[in-house]
Homo-oligomer: A and B are copies of this chain.
Amino acid sequence: MKKLWQKDNKSTLDPVIEAFETKGDLLMDQKLIKYDVQGSLAHAKMLCKIGILSKSELAKLEKGLLEILSLNSQGKFLLKIGDEDMHTKIENFLTEKYGKAGQKIHTGRSRNDQVLTAIRLYSKEMMEKIKQELTGLIKSFENFSQKFGSVKMPGYTHMQKAMPSSIGLWAGSFIESLQDDLSLLEAAANLNDQSPLGSAAGYGTPLKLDREYTVKLLGFAKAQNNFLYCQNSKGKIEALILAALTQILLTVNKFGSDIMLFTTSEFNFFQVSDALTTGSSIMPQKKNPDVAELLRAKVHLVLGNYTALVSLSSNLPSGYNRDLQDMKKPLLESLEITLDSIKVTGILLNNLTPKREVMESALTEEIFAAQKAYKLVQKNMPFRKAYGEVK
């Protein structure tokens, strides 16, 4: 397919190079098409508003763009090597079908601001979903706590029995952790909620674009004001999103770690429903709660993606650098992983039954030592002396 920057469609690009540059990226673009079309729809409306597109040209482009959305949702707008990227394929589709109107769609923008707009829209939508799931998960922990909160269990420090605790305290720790995570996610979502559209290649255009109009059409909170910062924020804001996801997955990891420990036959504090355990290919007796292991695993993947993004973004001068193309996959993957992990944490929680007797009989005598010392304190003995006494 003819590239946007080519005079003719004889690709002169070395095929190994072309595959290296686009093979993996097209898989990401396939997921972003929907958002790229949204951006194009808004951009076209704005071009019409400022007089660059006629109403009939706009109508054609809207028709074409909706056709693309529809084809795409049927799996019929497939990107393949040679297409360069989704932007090229979309513009070529529009130009082939609607001629001059298609040739105008790129007025006043660059693929640089275009792809960034699509990425920010995608992240915005995914974070919205994650927020909803997080809220639901908090609710689930609250229900769990209402149901089982009064069950006593040992509290641990250094993985050793320390003091009396309860399922209420334990479940509550996840609720508060998730609330903190939610608040950080909102901070990340706010920083993401800025439209780069109209910054073109990072240096604007001589045209008087109405950026506020596209901001409104796309539902962004505001525009990124500085054109160059749009490009410089690429990878940086995405790294921050991954830091927010990492916080969520740290909470998930803590839950998974607890479940793995508390469902050993030695601790034996919880029952996991059969619908969530799997067997062994060699040991007939096994029922493994391996969903907890896979939940535990996820924070590490997103940490790796975060590391990649920060390292990728640094030591580079201002302006667009194509290195950042490789930010798409870690970002998309991390958002998907997090969304799935929250859902699955909820399912695991709903399939968890505390073994009340086991838990309560685990409150052996030594666990009350500090409380004994406090009794002496209440009789006015200095704490350190009471401590020595009990010891």
In chain A, positions 40-96 with a C-beta closer than 8 Å to chain B are: 52, 87-88, 91, 95
How many residues of chain A have a CB within 8 Å of chain B?
169
Given the known A-B contacts A225-B176, A240-B243, are A21 and B290 also in contact in the complex, defined by CB atoms under 8 Å? yes
Given the known A-B contacts A162-B280, A321-B158, are A4 and B384 also in contact in the complex, defined by CB atoms under 8 Å? yes
Contacts of A287 in B (CB 8 A): 160
In chain A, positions 355-377 with a C-beta closer than 8 Å to chain B are: 362, 364, 366-367, 369-375, 377
In the complex, the answer to whether B229 meets A177 with C-beta atoms within 8 Å is yes
Q: How far is the CA of A169 from the CA of B221 in the complex (A)?
A: 22
How many copies of the shown chain assemble into the complex? 4
In the complex, the answer to whether B5 meets A109 with C-beta atoms within 8 Å is no
Name which of A176, A224, A309, A364 has the most chain B CB atoms within 10 A of its CB.
A176
In the complex, the answer to whether B326 meets A156 with C-beta atoms within 8 Å is no
Closest to A107 in B: B383
Given the known A-B contacts A157-B202, A250-B236, A279-B6, are A226 and B52 also in contact in the complex, defined by CB atoms under 8 Å? no
Interface residues of chain A: helix, strand, loop or mixed (majority): helix
A-B contact pairs, 20 of them (CB 8 A): A7-B388, A12-B275, A17-B276, A20-B291, A104-B384, A106-B383, A155-B203, A157-B202, A159-B260, A164-B203, A169-B227, A172-B226, A183-B191, A239-B247, A284-B370, A290-B322, A296-B314, A297-B323, A303-B310, A303-B311
